[in-house]
Amino acid sequence: MNSKTSVSKLRITIEIYGKGRAEGEVFRHLAPITLNALLRNMPSQGRAIRFKDQFVYITLGIVAGMEKVRKSFQKGEIGFLSSNGALCFFLENCEVAMPINPLGKITSGLDMLGKVGTGDVITVNIG
């Protein structure tokens, strides 16, 4: 294991087809069951959906329950909405109506996610 890998912290890459990429970190201790479900389905791809200017999400068809859910998220955080199997990338600090599992944070390229339009293809890989 090199110095950039960890059992509890994993790297996530988010490729926006034709526009660029963002990178971040996800943490097992935040939602271990959800993260394991995501890892079994990597890499995953979906079409972007924007919710106002607050967050961008892609539905992945992954079933996972609620773990340590919150309704308040900060700019750059990553979450998983278990009600529809969506991976969410928060563009602004916001309060959401549905509880979301926190997963991690974007460390670079958040500006690229801000340029995502509805229908853009996003590929996500964790590991």
pTM here?
Answer: 0.89
**Which residue ranges make up each domain of the chain?**
15-126
Q: What is the pLDDT of residues 34-82, one digit of tens each?
A: 888 889 888 999 999 998 889 999 998 888 878 888 999 999 999 999 8
- Residues 9-15: what's their mean pLDDT? 92
- Transcribe 71-118 into DSSP letters: EEE-TTEEEEETTTTEEEEESS-EEEEEEEEEEEEEEE-HHHHHT--T
Q: What band does 1 get if pLDDT is binned at 50, 70 and 90?
A: very low
pLDDT score at 127: 80
- Residues 114-123: what's their mean pLDDT? 90
CATH class, range 15-126 = mainly beta
